[in-house]
Amino acid sequence: MDKEKKIHLKRELGYFWGTNFLILNIIGAGIFVSPKGVLEYSCMNVGIALCIWAVCALLSMTTTLCSAEIGITFPLSGAQYYFIKRCYGPLPAFLRLWTSLFTGAGVMATQALLLAEYSIQPFYPSCSVPKVAMKCLALAMLWIVGILNSRGVKEVTGLQTVSMVLKVAILSLISLSGVYLLVRGKKENVARLQNAFDGEYPDASQIIEAVFQGYFAFSGGGCFTWVAGELKKPSKTIPRCIFTALPLVTMLYLLVNISYMTVLTPREILSSDAVAITWIDRVIPQLTWFIPFAISASLFSNLLINVLESTRGIYIAGQQGQLPLIFNTLNIHSSPLIPVLLNIIIGTIAIVLTNLIELINYLYFVLSIWTVLSMIGLLKLRYQEPDLPRPYKVFIPYIFITMAISLSMVLIPLFKSPKMHYIYVLLFLLSGLLLYIPLTYVKVKLVCFEKMTCYLQLLFNVCIPDKVDEKIQEETFLKRAF
């Protein structure tokens, strides 16, 4: 078989794709809704709110650079999973996979429902969106995304580029319009930013809450740890993408917030559920319908990428022997079809049973725990394996900053509003042991399951990747030939 016909995850994604990928991951619906939360917890102090946005950008940079070290040191698809396994062993890695399987599917369901709601809302201007119609559209969108992902990474590149251009165009329109209004020097516009630091100052707990609100809009920078195995020369590509995308996003976010505060008073921002829509209605009322469409396009691209990321962890877990062999298969488009299908099915169940979606907030609590463990793992490997080839090493204080942010996200909810739900979430995390012990630790083999594996391979036309995958892995760790 020719080299071109080998079936494996290929390194064919470069700087342009990686930059688009990172921008799409970071820019979601957050920038359209988070300004309200930041301003509220800043005690409506405009100057403090803008400073908090700048701080959130710096914190996002530190977190992203920490994830970059993981993706560059272990440039594999699903590197986050492999990293946890290498640092702590197979059991924590399996529990990480168990958590991400349901968290990823739940987040997909949430994004699909929001996408459906924003898409249908313009047709129901004076009433709420019918739930049946919203769920049907959400299911349709979710399965469309699944089909696109099953066709391989190249299939989503065009949609990714269009979505990125649309997002940046919308934010640029809001930014440049705000700058124009300031340059014109209308008294009512300029007055809103004069004496920006006048007014009440928030206390320490309020500042932390405001940082959480802004940090949410910057989240998603760690996405490279899931697709590092498909990037060309990841040791060079990942840093270049980070230092291109994050400054661009930071500049857009700051200008957008300045534009919001130029046109709207702090009280108007706080009274709005979607600040961007209120802004457009005030400045360009002819485009009021366009913002819901832009948010829908934003959520569609995020949904597309979320499926892409979450399937890579399942695929490498099958490769490492922690999941059945069927999960370590690819179709003719070099796409892990079975992991894609599993995520879509769980997401479908979450859409139908909407009460499951309420658990997403609590599952983020668990993801913060895994972030803390990842940062400890970076320090652990620095000490235990100092000679491990590291083309990129993050500045150690950045690791402690990221660890402090994640610890705050774990501890503040526990102390501020302790609920039994957090105990239930931890029990859910440990419930992964019910599968790990018999299937991975004891390695119980069921003849019927082996027959089912063969049947599924024939049904979905998938096969075990060619040995070239193993060669790539050896080159990665021994020769560093990328």
Q: Work out the angle at residue 227's Cα, subtended by the Cα atoms of residues 221 and 231, and round it to the nearest 5 degrees.
A: 105
- Res 377: pLDDT: 92
C-alpha R_g of the chain: 23
Q: What is the DSSP letter of 305?
A: H
Q: What is the pLDDT of residue 400?
A: 92
CA atoms within 13 A on the CB side of 363: 20
pLDDT of residue 49: 87
Residue 279's pLDDT is what?
Answer: 82
Supply angle C-alpha 133, 169, 124, rounded to 5: 25
- The token duo for 449 is 């399951």
Contact by Cβ (8 Å): 402, 377? no
- Model pLDDT for residues 179-235, shown as the tens digit of each residue: 887 777 666 666 666 676 777 788 777 787 788 778 778 877 777 777 777 788 888
Residue 281 near residue 288, CB atoms below 8 Å: yes
What local confidence, expressed as pLDDT, does residue 479 receive? 44
Q: Point out the residues of the chain with pLDDT beneath 50.
A: 1-4, 355-357, 359-360, 468-482
Question: Residue 319, CB half-sphere, CA atoms under 13 Å: how many?
Answer: 25
User: Which of 216, 289, 301 lies closest to 32 in space, CA to CA?
Assistant: 216
Entry pTM: 0.78
Q: What are phi and psi of 129, to 5 degrees?
A: -75, 130
3-state secondary structure 107-146: HHHHHHHHHHHHHHHHHCCCCCCCHHHHHHHHHHHHHHHH
The CA-based diameter of the chain, rounded to the nearest angstrom, is 78
CA–CA dist 433, 441 (Å, integer) = 10
Q: How many CB atoms lie within 10 A of CB 251?
A: 13
